[in-house]
Amino acid sequence: MSRELRHLIGQLMVCGFPSPDVDAHVQQLIREYHVGNIILFSRNIESLEQTRHLTQSLQQLAQETGQDDPLLICTDQENGLVSRFSKDVPGFPGNMALGATGDDKWAYRVGQMTGAFLALAGINMDLAPVLDVNNNPLNPVIGVRSFGDNPKSVAQMGVAMIRGLEESKVIACGKHFPGHGDTHVDSHTDLPRISHHLDRMKAVELLPFEQAIHHGLSAVMTAHIVFEQLDADHPATLSPKVLQGLLRETLGFTGVVTTDCLEMQAILGTVGVGQGAVMALLAGADMIMVSHHLDLQIEAMNAIYDAVVKGQLPLSRLEEAYGRIERLKTALHESVHESQDRLPLLQAKALDLQKDAAQHALTCLYDGSQSKTEPGVSRPFPKPRRVAVVFDTGAPQMIAAGPDAVHASLVQSIEAGLLGAEVRAFSESEALGDVEEVLHYDWLIYLSRTLGPIKDDLSLLLQAHPYAVVWLLRTPYLFPMFKEMGAKRIYALYENTPWMIQAALGALRGQSAWGSLPVQVKDYPRGYQGCVS
C-alpha cells in the first residue's frame, strides 16, 4: 500500500528543479517520489537543443523508473514579458500586444508557432493562455499578460491561441481561474480578495473560461484569490465551492485542474504548502504544483500521504485526479521530435511572424507632429547620430516574468535598430539632473516601465526636446498623463521585447503602427488610435 500510494501521489505533483541538467534534485523527485509532471523555468532552458536533450533525458528516466505514462513537461510560455524560450528561439508579442492587433488570427498564428517550438523542445504542455480580463489599471501581476479588458475579445483571442497551441500537439492550460484581472495585489506576495457578485463575474471574469471550456480546453490553472461572494474563507485554489461547484458543476469542466504554485505567499504565508496541498485536493484540484524547493515538494507529498493514511483525504479523490491526468496523457500526441533540418525554415517563418505581429500590435497613441493638411500622417524623425535613452526609476518587478530586463539589453535592442548611432542610457534622475546634456542628443526616447505615478519635472524634458518620444513598455494606462505633460509622440509597446522595440523604431522612421488600444484608458475608448501612419 505504501509504495503504491507514494506512486499515486507523485503522479499528481508538478515540480520544478534548479538546473539545466538532470540533476540530483529532479532525479530524487522521479526515482524516489515517482513525480509524473515537471515544470521548466528559464533556469532550466539554455538553448533549444539543450532543452530537447533535457526533456528526452527526463522522459527516459521516468520510463526507466517504471512510469507507464509519459511525463507532462510544462512551462509558462505566455510570450511577451513572460517567456521561457531561449535566445535561439524567436519570441513573439504577448497577450496585450496581440489584443492590440484587433484580429484573433495573430493569437492563433502565435499559438501555433509557439506550440511548434515547444513541441520541438519536448515540452508538451503550455501554461497559457492567460484568460484573465485586465480591468484594473493598477494590477501588478496580470496587466499586459491579459489580452485586454473586454471579456468577449479576451475569450475570442484566448480560444484562438488554444486552437493554435493544440494544433501543434501541445496542451493548453487556461489561467488563472476564476480570474486574476481585477486585483491590485500580487498573489506571489500576498492573498488578494475580490468582492464582486456572481452576476458580474459571469459577465466579466468567467466569460473567457466558459468559452474556452466550450471549445474543449483541456486544463485550467487556479488563482490564489479569495472571491468573497463565492467562498469568503478560502482562496479559489482551496475552495470546493469554486473548483467543484462553479468550475465542475456550473461550467461543466471535465478536464484537469492544476493549482498555481503553492510556494506563492498567498498559500505559503497562510495555510502553508503541506496543508495547502491537502486542501487543494479536497477542493477538487487534480495536480499540485510546487515549483522550486525540494523540501517544500517533499512536505507537500508527505502531507498528502499522511492525510490519506489518517482518513482525512479519501483515496478515491486521488484516484479520480489521477484518472483525469492519465486521460490527458493518453490523449497526448507524441511530441514532435523532428529532425533539426526543419529548424532553419521554422525559425525563418517565426521571424516573419514576429515582425508582422509586432507591427500590427504597436499602437501610436499621440503624435503632435502630424500634418494638419494630412491628418494621420506621422512625420519621420531625422536620422540620428546620438540618441538619449531615459529609464524611469522605481519600476515594479513583475515576479512572473523573472528578473527585470536590465538596461543594457534594452539599449542593445535600440542600438541594433539604429546601426551607427551612439546610444546612451540615462536614469531618470541623471537626465533630470543634466537636462542641457540630454537636449544635445538628436533623439530622446523615454522608456516607461512603471505603473505610475510620473514625476512632474519630467515634462521639462519632454516639452523641450524637439524629437522626444515616450514608449509605454509596461502599461498603456499612463498615456493621458504623458500627453498632459506635453510629450510630442507616445507609443504603447506593451512589453520591453526586442521585436516591439524594432517596430517602434520603424515607426519613428515612417513605418506603419497599426495597433489600437485593447483597454479603455481614462477618457480614451477601447479601440482608440491616436494616429495612423
Q: Which residues are catalytic?
A: 260
Closest CA to 172 of 184, 181, 163, 185: 163
CB atoms within 10 A of CB 69: 17
Instruction: Find out whether 516 and 102 touch, Cβ atoms under 8 Å.
Output: yes
Instruction: Find out whether 110 and 92 touch, Cβ atoms under 8 Å.
Output: yes
Helix-helix angle 151-167:104-120, to 10 degrees: 30
Helix-helix angle 294-309:273-283, to 10 degrees: 50
- Cα separation, 375 vs 82, whole angstroms: 37
Between strands 489-492 and 363-367, the pairing is antiparallel
Here the cell at position 95 is 497577450
Contacts of residue 449, Cβ cutoff 8 Å, sequence gap at least 6: 391, 392, 395, 404, 473, 474, 496
Detail the DSSP E strand segments found in 154-251: 171-177, 193-194, 219-222, 226-227
Between strands 256-258 and 363-367, the pairing is unpaired
Instruction: Find out whether 239 and 284 touch, Cβ atoms under 8 Å.
Output: no
Instruction: Find out whether 338 and 120 touch, Cβ atoms under 8 Å.
Output: yes
Contacts of residue 15, Cβ cutoff 8 Å, sequence gap at least 6: 26, 29, 35, 37, 38, 39, 289, 290, 291, 297
Closest CA to 299 of 270, 268, 329, 325: 268
Instruction: Find out whether 208 and 218 touch, Cβ atoms under 8 Å.
Output: no
- Cα separation, 286 vs 74, whole angstroms: 15
CB atoms within 10 A of CB 437: 13
Here the cell at position 283 is 477542493
Four-CA torsion 167, 146, 352, 517, nearest 10 degrees: 130
